[in-house]
A and B are shown apart, each in its own frame.
Chain A
Amino acid sequence: MAQAQVPEYVRVVEELFSKYKEFIYVGKYIQRWDAVSKITGKALFTADFLKFYKDPVYVYTVRPKYAHAYIKSIDTTEAERYPGVIKVLTAKDIPGVNDVGYVIPDQPLLADKKVRYIADPIALIVAEDKYVAAEAAELVHVEYEPLPVITDPLEVVDLKTLKEKEHVRIHEERESDIISHFKIRKGDVEKAIKEADVVVENEYRTGMQEHAYLEPEAAIAIPEADGGVTIIASTQCPFDVRKAVARVLGVTQNKVRVIVPAIGGGFGGKEDVVNEIGAKAALAAYYTGRPAVVIHTREESMIGHSKRHPMVAWYRHAAKKDGTLLAVEANIVLDTGAYASLGPFVAWRAIVHSTGPYKVPNARVDTLAVYTNNVYAGAFRGFGNPQVTFAFELQMDALAEELGMDPVDLRLKNILREGDRTVHGQLLTKEHGVGLEETLKRAIEVIDWYRKRKEYSEFAEGTLRKGIGLALLWHGNSIGVEGADYSSATIIINRDGTVTFRTGLTDFGQGAVWGLVLIAAEILGVPPQLFRIEPPDTSSTPDAGPTVASRSTVMGGAATMNAAYKLRKRINELAANMLGCSPDEIVIRAPEKEDVKPSDVEVFCKSDPSKKVKWTDVVEQSFWDGVPLQEFGFFRAPKAEWDEETGQGAPYVTYTFGTMVAEVTVDIETGAVKVDRMVTAYDIGKVINRVGAELHAEGGAIQGLGYALMEEIVHDKNGVVRTYNLSNYYTPLIDDIPDEIIPIWVESGFKRGPFGAKGLGEPSIVAIAPAIVNAINHATKHRFTQIPLTPERIYLGLKRAGKIKL
């Protein structure tokens, strides 16, 4: 990019990256702003607001008996006459557009012609009481014409030919039940395979994972006098909810206000579903003129919100004797369930990462996302990348075994380093920050890889076996070509010297917004304790784009930098005037103490610290001088490049890299696995929020462990979800965590990230499962290719291979 074209907001980020070497707040252990309110039980989550509203109405969703059926008729009369029922709403009552599809308009809010999965909302009971609402739901009589149910994506498409098969169509209104098809075409794969010394080929399967955030979805809608509505909702994306609700109600966006209180976890799952529940609450408020409440039960949450796409993939890798990769070929099918949700974007992210952080001279990859009658799949931490990483990292181990090479040596031979080109032809330079090799080297050193790899190969104690395995990852930062990749933040300095921080980015536990405050504090010199983060509110906080794709720190951080930078500049000039030195010399510093006050903060000249004033005096002066103390910051990533036919271009601004190592003990007689230890080494450019980063490394690993070993949403052949609660959907509990997780941080510095930072939210789960499964494969000397790798799958796999005799 020529210098002249670099926008001002990018230049600011680059300037600050090169200027700041020492940090006061960034990268330090600093308590998040809402910690006290959360541990005292005072923090208010959406459902908690119910205690403030008298006389609300309760909304309960009527869901179908079948996962796939035409609706012949809906009779609500009996339900409507049930005492306590105020209204029963069906599709015909929707004043605006009956659609809440996220990327494609394929998802009716209330089904009237057809149901496509087992939780498809058909009608809403609006009642005086939640028990009454649930009772009345059974009095809505729906006549169905059942259709064959498809739960296996390979009934829709052939894995080998990638052709759509003859099947009962799920979305007749569309051309095909294949919602997207992405491609990578590079070099001459046929030729490379012919010339290769070794070729390995396998089929991989990954399960449908549930977010299981602890707070189920909730929304409260309060009717406004002008026909508008205010919605309190547990959402990651308030501006998306506003748009969806405005469409459903048929009103303009300024009549819908969405406020986001504390959120009890999201992990990507509180994106599209909140369009649905926000709209349900809004409709009820619209019709009754009373506050309306939708609080999903755990069971409704499990069956009624998006999941992680299951994947079936066929992979073929070809290499030379010395381990050099020659080609990668893959057919990848993602099951997006009944609706597209974010499926097309997930499929795109999957293909971008599908060959791994390696030099791949020849490649042919096809990625398809298809409809089935399963619960719809959408965004979930990692967004398509965990699935493909599972496949390619198992392929790498299979290849290493064929070659008789150590898995580490094979990877060292092929990994991307500075100056290499990705499979898409993107040149990785120093500006991107390419710390993959360092993560690998440091991880294997800390864990003592070579010794353990050898030792565990021979370990056998009764029915116990030990193994060690690793997996590498890359993860493109922010949204790439998926959407408009902008972000924004507003900083307001108040007259008492405190600071108000506003962004439409949401915090659902990950602490990213706190990272933005640390960035602002670093630049302004005002300690983070003096900041107040205002809850996202479409009426006051700027639209910062969705809180997805690990983009908060990178995009939001860069926007925050711009706001803080401009403010600081004005303050420096004012202070320089007051103190009589040059603006470049102004230092703003606070004493180190927990209960710091605005008047403790000092502003002085670097060359002569005796020339000083209080921060509060500077603030006061600026009010007298008319120096504006609020600022809006914006950042937008350079346009991503992607050729639809070949997958060539520059899909992401940069990549987060990492190496995960796992040690396991397997009881071969039962198939039980204990993950003993993990090392998680990430190159995230620069650690901004250290507490948040560590928590991500731990939390992502634990969620990844669940993905690898126990979590799976299971549908029966009728499309009924069998795992609809937290007893039969297994999330890791305190007894399941590894004895230790050792985090390693590599700070390679990304020139266009805030102080060099890259994203971590999603990468923290991406390569956990393949590391654990590679370790299990090492322990059992077997090649398992499916997750969740349950005790049963391990046991029966070994039994079939003749490795077990009871």
Chain B
Amino acid sequence: MAFDPSKSWDTYPDIEITLNVNGKNYKVKVKPYERLIDVLRYKLGFTGVKEGCGRGECGACVVLMDGELVPSCLVLAVRANGKKIITVEGLAPEGKLHAVQKAFLDTFAVQCGFCFPGFAIAIKHLLDKNPNPSEEEIKEALSGNLCRCGSYYRLIKAAKLASEYVRQGKIYFDVKR
């Protein structure tokens, strides 16, 4: 690679994009090569989006982009321009828990917790499409999310429970502690 010491390292253009994250609009300057995950985490502070692999192999970074489930580690930020993004932070209003999160508590599913933002979004995506999923459908929907601590049984149970909550119209819950 040729170099020119007089040149600044920051030679790539800044591109201004607008992201709607969790219902709020953000104008942000990004680089052409920048990934959505880095913009969400480091430029906008949504560190609930986790990076487990950066290669589309673990599901820790998934977000909803215009309602679709996407790995934010493989999406270029410029591509998200004008899109609506939902991250784990946007599942419920401040101080409340979403049915999916409540179900994680009720099933005592949490271990290290690094995978949970991804699972929460994946389950939310499933329930948006299908409020009454079978066990098979749940497993299929979560088949690409890795939980190395092995909370899978509880995550399946939690998805079922969350679907019950949602069908009963219970979407948000108060946080007790």
Which residues of A come within 8 Å of B, CB atoms?
Answer: 29, 31-32, 34-36, 38-45, 47-48, 50-51, 78, 81-85, 127-129, 131-132, 135, 138-139, 211-216, 262-267, 297-298, 508-511, 529, 594-595, 691, 694-695, 698-703, 725-727, 731-735, 737, 741
> B150–A529 contact, CB under 8 A?
no
Q: In the complex, what residues of A have CB within 8 A of residue B89's CB?
A: 40-42
CB under 8 Å from chain A, chain B span 105-133: 105, 108, 110-117, 120
A135 to B1, CA, bound (A): 9
Contact with A along B60-103 (1 / 0, CB 8 A): 10000000000000000000000000011101100001000100
Partner-binding segment picked from B13-21, B138-146, B163-171: B138-146
> B149–A51 contact, CB under 8 A?
no
> B1–A265 contact, CB under 8 A?
no
Give the distance to chain A from B106, nearest Cβ to Cβ, in Å: 9
> A215–B52 contact, CB under 8 A?
yes
Q: In the complex, what residues of A have CB within 8 A of residue B116's CB?
A: 38-39, 41
Q: Which of A48, A81, A691 contacts B3 (CB 8 A)?
A: A81
Q: In the complex, what residues of B have CB within 8 A of residue A701's CB?
A: 150
> A45–B114 contact, CB under 8 A?
yes
Consensus secondary structure, chain A interface:
loop
Q: Which of A45, A128, A265 contacts B148 (CB 8 A)?
A: A265
Q: In the complex, what residues of A have CB within 8 A of residue B50's CB?
A: 45, 214-215, 264
**Quick one: given A83-B4, A594-B176, are A39 and B110 in contact (CB under 8 Å)?**
yes
Q: Which of A138, A263, A725 contacts B55 (CB 8 A)?
A: A725
Which of A34, A127, A135, A265 has most B Cβ within 10 Å?
A: A265
Q: Which of A29, A81, A214, A725 contacts B147 (CB 8 A)?
A: A214
Give the distance to chain B from A526, nearest Cβ to Cβ, in Å: 15
> A735–B143 contact, CB under 8 A?
yes
Closest A residue to B56 by beta carbon equals A727
Q: Which of A216, A267, A695, A731 contacts B146 (CB 8 A)?
A: A731
Q: Which of B42, B47, B149 contacts A41 (CB 8 A)?
A: B47
Which residues of B come within 8 Å of A, CB atoms?
Answer: 1, 3-5, 7-11, 33, 41-42, 45-55, 57-58, 60, 87-89, 91-92, 97, 101, 104-105, 108, 110-117, 120, 139, 142-156, 175-177
A-B contact sample (5 more), CB < 8 A, given A39-B101, A731-B148, A734-B145: A47-B47, A83-B5, A215-B112, A215-B114, A264-B50
> A41–B88 contact, CB under 8 A?
yes
Closest A residue to B108 by beta carbon equals A691
**Quick one: given A35-B104, A135-B1, A298-B54, are A699 and B97 in contact (CB under 8 Å)?**
no
A321 to B120, CA, bound (A): 57
Could you list 9 examples of A-B contacts with CB < 8 Å?
Answer: A35-B113, A39-B104, A82-B9, A138-B1, A214-B148, A264-B113, A266-B112, A725-B53, A732-B150
The 5 closest A-B pairs by CB, nearest first: A41-B48, A84-B9, A509-B112, A38-B113, A264-B114
> A51–B58 contact, CB under 8 A?
no
**Quick one: given A51-B45, A298-B52, are A38 and B110 in contact (CB under 8 Å)?**
yes
Q: In the complex, what residues of A have CB within 8 A of residue B151's CB?
A: 695, 698-699
A31 to B109, CA, bound (A): 9
Q: In the complex, what residues of A have CB within 8 A of residue B52's CB?
A: 214-216, 264, 298, 726
> B146–A741 contact, CB under 8 A?
no
Closest B residue to A266 by beta carbon equals B112
Q: In the complex, what residues of B have CB within 8 A of residue A139's CB?
A: 1
Which of B50, B110, B120, B149 has most A Cβ within 10 Å?
A: B149
> A36–B105 contact, CB under 8 A?
yes
**Quick one: given A265-B114, A726-B57, A726-B58, are A42 and B148 in contact (CB under 8 Å)?**
no
Q: Which of B42, B47, B150 contacts A700 (CB 8 A)?
A: B150
Q: In the complex, what residues of A have CB within 8 A of residue B150's CB?
A: 695, 698-703, 732, 737
Which of B45, B114, B146 has most A Cβ within 10 Å?
A: B114
> B148–A703 contact, CB under 8 A?
yes
A215 to B91, CA, bound (A): 22
A725 to B54, CA, bound (A): 10
Give the distance to chain A from B139, nearest Cβ to Cβ, in Å: 5
**Quick one: given A298-B55, A510-B111, A727-B57, are A733 and B97 in contact (CB under 8 Å)?**
no
A263 to B49, CA, bound (A): 15
A529 to B175, CA, bound (A): 13
Q: Which of B33, B108, B152, B177 contacts A734 (CB 8 A)?
A: B152
Consensus secondary structure, chain B interface:
loop
Q: In the complex, what residues of A have CB within 8 A of residue B113's CB?
A: 34-35, 38-39, 43, 262, 264, 509
Give the distance to chain A from B146, nearest Cβ to Cβ, in Å: 6
> B112–A31 contact, CB under 8 A?
no
Q: In the complex, what residues of A have CB within 8 A of residue B55's CB?
A: 298, 725-727
Q: In the complex, what residues of A have CB within 8 A of residue B48's CB?
A: 40-42
Q: In the complex, what residues of A have CB within 8 A of residue B42's CB?
A: 50-51
Which of B49, B91, B97, B112 has most A Cβ within 10 Å?
A: B112
> B117–A695 contact, CB under 8 A?
no
> A737–B152 contact, CB under 8 A?
yes
Q: In the complex, what residues of B have CB within 8 A of residue A741's CB?
A: 153
Q: In the complex, what residues of B have CB within 8 A of residue A699's CB?
A: 111, 149-151
A315 to B155, CA, bound (A): 41
Q: Which of A44, A265, A266, A732 contacts B47 (CB 8 A)?
A: A44
> B53–A726 contact, CB under 8 A?
yes
Q: In the complex, what residues of A have CB within 8 A of residue B155's CB?
A: 734
A703 to B147, CA, bound (A): 10
> A695–B57 contact, CB under 8 A?
no
A594 to B87, CA, bound (A): 28
**Quick one: given A40-B97, A298-B54, are A265 and B177 in contact (CB under 8 Å)?**
no
Q: Which of B9, B47, B60, B104 contacts A214 (CB 8 A)?
A: B60
Give the distance to chain A from B138, nearest Cβ to Cβ, in Å: 8
> B139–A511 contact, CB under 8 A?
no
Which of B4, B33, B47, B145 has most A Cβ within 10 Å?
A: B47
**Quick one: given A39-B113, A265-B149, A733-B144, are A31 and B57 in contact (CB under 8 Å)?**
no
Q: In the complex, what residues of B have CB within 8 A of residue A131's CB?
A: 33
Give the distance to chain B from A756, nearest Cβ to Cβ, in Å: 23
A589 to B2, CA, bound (A): 73
Which of B53, B143, B154 has most A Cβ within 10 Å?
A: B53
**Quick one: given A214-B112, A691-B108, are A595 and B139 in contact (CB under 8 Å)?**
no
Give the distance to chain B from A81, nearest Cβ to Cβ, in Å: 5
Q: In the complex, what residues of A have CB within 8 A of residue B58's CB?
A: 214, 298, 726
Q: In the complex, what residues of A have CB within 8 A of residue B176's CB?
A: 594-595
Closest B residue to A48 by beta carbon equals B47
Give the distance to chain A from B102, nearest Cβ to Cβ, in Å: 9
A297 to B51, CA, bound (A): 9
Closest A residue to B38 by beta carbon equals A130
> A695–B111 contact, CB under 8 A?
yes
Closest B residue to A694 by beta carbon equals B108
Give the distance to chain B from A511, nearest Cβ to Cβ, in Å: 7
Give the distance to chain A from B26, nearest Cβ to Cβ, in Å: 14
A264 to B154, CA, bound (A): 18
Q: In the complex, what residues of A have CB within 8 A of residue B11's CB?
A: 83
A139 to B3, CA, bound (A): 11
Q: In the complex, what residues of B have CB within 8 A of residue A128's CB?
A: 9-10
> B111–A509 contact, CB under 8 A?
yes
Closest B residue to A507 by beta carbon equals B112
Which of A36, A47, A509, A694 has most B Cβ within 10 Å?
A: A509
Q: In the complex, what residues of A have CB within 8 A of residue B60's CB?
A: 214
Q: Which of B45, B110, B120 contacts A32 (CB 8 A)?
A: B110
A50 to B47, CA, bound (A): 9
**Quick one: given A82-B3, A215-B114, are A39 and B146 in contact (CB under 8 Å)?**
no
> B111–A31 contact, CB under 8 A?
no
> B156–A734 contact, CB under 8 A?
yes
Q: In the complex, what residues of B have CB within 8 A of residue A81's CB?
A: 3, 5
Give the distance to chain B from A127, nearest Cβ to Cβ, in Å: 8
Q: Which of A85, A266, A594, A695 contacts B177 (CB 8 A)?
A: A594
Q: In the complex, what residues of B have CB within 8 A of residue A735's CB?
A: 139, 143
Give the distance to chain B from A693, nearest Cβ to Cβ, in Å: 11
> A84–B10 contact, CB under 8 A?
yes
